[in-house]
């Protein structure tokens, strides 16, 4: 059964009660409300509804659909007078999406009341039974206001890969939350290209008193690492307690025996893989990757050196 | 496709009006669209239709057709079928739609069907220049969520074992979803299970199967909660990376600073996680106190744990 069939039925089962409850509706209202591409598509579905009903399937048993000019009236559809309940996934999706946005302080008041009404109707207590922790630091708001008013920002950024600090002027395109962290994406004048920044690694933000011309951005709001042919490769085995690495990082993984997982990681800078290996400690064993092995030894020496001097 | 849709709507109309459980044979002979030639063809079609109804969210159940329980039939209770109307205004529906478009789950937005069921909304609204992905797909999360709301047991595989637990609460913390549930038969203590490590999540038994103890504190169960051992570390950071540490851990305090370093007092909620976090700063952060934590870091780096 195709997903398209399913979504058409879902739409019909929602549209019928709406029209019945309101004693009729315009084609335009139905098209917009139920996200149809055209009036014609609405009529097509109404014509299918018209062919269905209760056993007997005679004139009195079938659903009666009248389309007069732009107005739709549905009768003899008492069995579909209520819309279908939300699936648990749908209910959680709406509640979680709504309360995440409410918590970010960027939502209209109508969203807060919608989330409250929905939680009450479903019978669940937010903050107690469903806890959404998307902490939104002030810097997120500063970045968003700057990008919405098209002001570039001067940021001091500490790169995650090297821990090196740079000062950059960025024309913001989006601020988003992904995998537990906030990200800021925009055109970076220093790199003369689009760049993605982790908000918690931005040491300071200064909004500049000038305006930039925004470009239409349609990059996805996710933090995906894009591999390059110049990447270094690290192959390492991890034990059961470090298997989360396979879920958390964009790596390839292969199940070996005894709960050991072999991970293949592509990195632009060998230090990134070396740091992860050092963090995992004796639960990870490097199998392949000379540059990463060298970086690991170097990193270990540098840290022990720092501890020896302070 | 049209024939399929007609048959599904006819089947649903019949089940919603018939008021008693009906067998597959009753359905075959009563509902328009089940004119397949062979028994096997009918059964295939009917199985697909049942799956479709269930994936739409229709509470299709199987029950005995009489008190002797010889035969079983299908039933949809209207009070279970109908949406619990929250009575949203058009503005509230539009706001929910906008939220559902920008907050995703594992790269997928919440299905539009959710908004349709609540009466639909105009899609002509501007979405904020902000987005969030809460990870995980909604199917497994949905089962857990429903079980929490109806206080029903859930089953899932975790590690090498299958478990049946009383679900208390669900939380999205530090980029992951967690379920709070007691691990054994007693209501306490409660453990946090990571949802992305569960497999085969399914509800089990009836609703109202347990009570959540009054002294259950979700904040103490989920990672990142406040009620952990009170340990603080004194760490010297290079000046340029210190703001990152302050951004990443709330409750840090500046104790001392010079031109090229800052000493921060950092709350430690989990030693293991803390050591991993420290190493993320390479050689630009050094734990000064407590001595045994400092020694743990050094031992970890040397590789002699």
CATH number of A232-309: 3.30.70
A62 DSSP 8-state letter: B
Residues in chain B closer than 8 A to A5 (CB atoms): 1, 4-5, 52
| A84-119: pLDDT as tens digits | 999 888 888 899 888 887 877 667 888 999 999 999
Residue A215 and residue A227 in contact, taking contact as beta carbons nearer than 8 Å: no
Q: Distance (Å) from the C-alpha of residue A74 to the closest C-alpha of chain B?
A: 15
Of the pLDDT bands very low, low, confident and very high (cuts 50, 70, 90), residue B227 is: very low
Of the pLDDT bands very low, low, confident and very high (cuts 50, 70, 90), residue B303 is: confident
Sequence ranges of the domains in chain B: 2-81, 90-133, 138-221, 231-302
A positions 9-48 inside 8 Å of B (CB): 9-15, 18, 32-35, 48
| A49-70: pLDDT as tens digits | 999 999 999 888 999 999 998 9
Report the number of secondary-structure helices (H) and strands (E) in chain B: 11, 15
In the predicted structure, residue B228 carries a pLDDT above the cut 60: no
Q: Which fold has domain A138-207?
A: SH3 type barrels. (2.30.30)
Considering A97-101, A252-256, B161-165, B171-175, the range whose residues carry the highest mean pLDDT is: B161-165
In the predicted structure, residue B305 carries a pLDDT above the cut 60: no
Per-position b or e across A91-117, b if 16+ CB within 10 A of its CB: bbbbbbbbbbbbbbebbbebbbbbbbb
- Count of A–B CB contacts within 8 Å? 373
Q: Which fold has domain A3-80?
A: Arc Repressor Mutant, subunit A (1.10.10)
- Within a 10 A sphere around the Cβ of B191, how many other Cβ atoms? 14
Containing B289, the helix (H) or strand (E) segment is strand B285-289
Q: Which of A89, A157, A238 to substitute to test the interface with B, most B CBs within 10 Å?
A: A89
Q: What is the mean pLDDT of each run of 10 residues along chain A (310 residues)?
A: 85 96 94 92 95 91 93 94 90 88 77 92 79 76 86 94 92 81 89 90 93 70 65 89 75 83 90 92 90 94 93
In the predicted structure, residue B23 carries a pLDDT above the cut 80: yes
Sequence ranges of the domains in chain A: 3-80, 88-122, 138-207, 232-309
Q: How far apart are CA B96 and CA A267, in angstroms?
A: 39
Which has the closest alpha carbon to A122: B86, B111, B97, B202? Answer: B86
C-alpha pair distances (Å), A3 with each of A10, B1, B5, B296: 10, 11, 12, 54
Instruction: Mark yes or no for CB contact A82/B83 under 8 Å.
Output: yes
Query: Tokens in use for B172?
Result: 């999205």
- Within a 10 A sphere around the Cβ of B124, how many other Cβ atoms? 7
Mean pLDDT of chain B: 86
Q: Does A79 touch chain B (CB under 8 A)?
A: yes
Q: Distance (Å) from the C-alpha of residue B294 to the closest C-alpha of chain A?
A: 9
Greater confidence, B219 or A291?
Answer: A291
A87 DSSP 8-state letter: P
ipTM of the predicted structure?
0.73
- As a whole number of Å, the CA-based R_g of chain A is 28
Q: Does B1 touch chain A (CB under 8 A)?
A: yes
B5 DSSP 8-state letter: H
Instruction: Mark yes or no for CB contact A92/B138 under 8 Å.
Output: yes
Residue B283 and residue A305 in contact, taking contact as beta carbons nearer than 8 Å: yes
For residue B50, is it left (φ>0), alpha (ψ between -120 and 50) or beta?
Answer: alpha
Instruction: Mark yes or no for CB contact B82/A84 under 8 Å.
Output: yes
Q: How far apart are CA A46 and CA A26, in angstroms?
A: 12
Instruction: Mark yes or no for CB contact A310/B31 under 8 Å.
Output: no
Instruction: Mark yes or no for CB contact B133/A129 under 8 Å.
Output: no
* CA A223 remoteness from chain centre: 10
Query: Tokens in use for B90?
Result: 């058009």
Instruction: Mark yes or no for CB contact B120/A33 under 8 Å.
Output: yes
Instruction: Mark yes or no for CB contact B86/A57 under 8 Å.
Output: no
% of chain B surpassing 90 pLDDT:
47
Q: How far apart are CA B148 and CA B32, in angstroms?
A: 39
| Phi and psi at residue B168, to the nearest 5° | -100, -45
Find all residues with CB under 8 Å of A114, minimum gap 6, and list them. A98, B86, B88, B92, B93, B95, B96
CATH of B231-302, one of 3.30.1490, 3.40.1000, 3.40.50, 3.30.70: 3.30.70
A269 DSSP 8-state letter: S
Instruction: Mark yes or no for CB contact A200/B244 under 8 Å.
Output: yes
Instruction: Mark yes or no for CB contact B100/A94 under 8 Å.
Output: yes
**CATH architecture assigned to B2-81:** Orthogonal Bundle (1.10)
Residues in chain B closer than 8 A to A108 (CB atoms): 91, 95
Q: Does A114 touch chain B (CB under 8 A)?
A: yes
Q: How far apart are CA A95 and CA B114, in angstroms?
A: 11
Task: Assign A253 to helix, strand or coil.
Answer: strand
Residue B225's pLDDT is what? 56
Q: How far apart are CA A38 and CA A42, in angstroms?
A: 7
Strand pairing class (B176-182; B190-194):
antiparallel
| B42-51: pLDDT as tens digits | 999 999 999 9
In the predicted structure, residue B226 carries a pLDDT above the cut 90: no
CATH number of B138-221: 2.30.30
Q: How far apart are CA B111 and CA A147, in angstroms?
A: 29
Greater confidence, B249 or A43?
Answer: A43
């Amino acid at each position: 059964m195709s997903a398209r069939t399913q979504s058409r039925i879902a739409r019909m089962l929602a549209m019928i009660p709406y029209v019945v409850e309101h004693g009729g509706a315009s084609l335009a209202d139905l098209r917009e409300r139920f996200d149809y591409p055209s009036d014609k598509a609405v009529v097509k579905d109404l014509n299918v509804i018209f062919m269905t009903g209760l056993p007997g399937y005679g004139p009195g048993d079938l659903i009666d659909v009248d389309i007069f000019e732009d107005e739709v009236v549905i009768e003899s559809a008492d069995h579909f007078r209520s819309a279908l309940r939300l699936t648990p996934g749908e209910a959680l999706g709406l509640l979680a999406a709504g309360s995440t946005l409410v918590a970010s302080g960027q939502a209209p008041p109508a969203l807060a009341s919608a989330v409250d009404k929905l939680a009450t109707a479903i019978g669940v207590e937010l903050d107690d039974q469903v806890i959404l922790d998307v902490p939104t630091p002030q810097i997120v708001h500063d970045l968003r206001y700057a990008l919405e008013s098209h002001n570039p920002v001067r940021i001091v950024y500490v790169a995650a890969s090297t821990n090196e600090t740079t000062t950059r002027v960025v024309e913001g395109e989006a601020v988003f939350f992904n995998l537990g962290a906030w990200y800021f994406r925009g055109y970076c004048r220093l790199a003369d290209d689009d760049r993605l920044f982790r908000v918690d690694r931005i040491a300071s933000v200064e909004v500049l008193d000038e305006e930039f011309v925004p470009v239409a951005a349609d990059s996805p709001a996710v933090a995906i690492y894009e591999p390059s042919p110049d990447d270094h490769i690290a192959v390492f085995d991890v034990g059961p307690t470090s298997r989360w690495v396979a879920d958390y990082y964009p790596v390839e993984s292969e199940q070996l025996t005894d709960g050991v997982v072999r991970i293949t990681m592509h990195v632009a800078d060998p230090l990134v893989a070396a740091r992860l290996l050092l963090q995992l400690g004796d639960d990870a064993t490097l199998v392949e990757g000379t540059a990463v092995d060298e970086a690991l030894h170097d990193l270990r020496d540098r840290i022990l050196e720092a501890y020896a001097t302070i | 496709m049209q024939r399929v849709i007609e048959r599904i709507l006819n089947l649903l109309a019949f089940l919603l009006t018939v008021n008693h459980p009906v067998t597959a044979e009753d359905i075959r002979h009563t509902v328009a669209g089940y004119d397949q030639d062979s028994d096997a063809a009918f059964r295939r079609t009917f199985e697909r239709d049942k799956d479709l109804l269930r994936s739409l969210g229709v509470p299709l159940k199987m029950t005995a057709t009489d008190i002797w329980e010889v035969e079983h039939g299908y039933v949809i209770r209207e009070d279970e079928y109908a949406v619990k109307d929250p009575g949203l205004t058009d503005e509230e529906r539009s706001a929910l739609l906008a939220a559902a478009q920008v907050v995703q789950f594992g790269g997928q937005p919440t299905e539009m069907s959710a908004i349709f069921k609540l009466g639909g909304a105009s899609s002509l609204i501007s979405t904020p220049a902000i987005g969030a992905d809460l990870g995980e797909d909604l199917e497994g999360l949905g089962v857990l969520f429903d079980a929490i709301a109806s206080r029903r047991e859930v089953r899932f595989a975790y590690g090498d074992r299958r478990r049946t637990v009383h679900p208390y609460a669900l939380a999205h913390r530090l980029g992951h979803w967690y379920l709070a549930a007691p691990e054994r038969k007693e209501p306490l203590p409660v453990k946090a299970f990571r949802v992305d490590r569960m497999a085969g999540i399914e509800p089990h038994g009836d609703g109202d199967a347990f009570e959540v103890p009054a002294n259950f504190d979700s904040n103490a169960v989920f990672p990142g909660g406040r009620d952990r051992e009170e340990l603080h570390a004194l760490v010297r950071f290079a000046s340029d990376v210190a703001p990152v540490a302050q951004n990443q851990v709330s409750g840090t305090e500046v104790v001392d600073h010079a031109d090229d370093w800052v000493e921060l007092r950092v709350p430690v909620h989990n030693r293991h996680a803390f050591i991993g976090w420290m190493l993320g700063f390479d050689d630009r952060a050094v734990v000064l106190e407590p001595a045994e934590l400092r020694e743990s870091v050094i031992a970890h780096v040397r590789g002699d744990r």
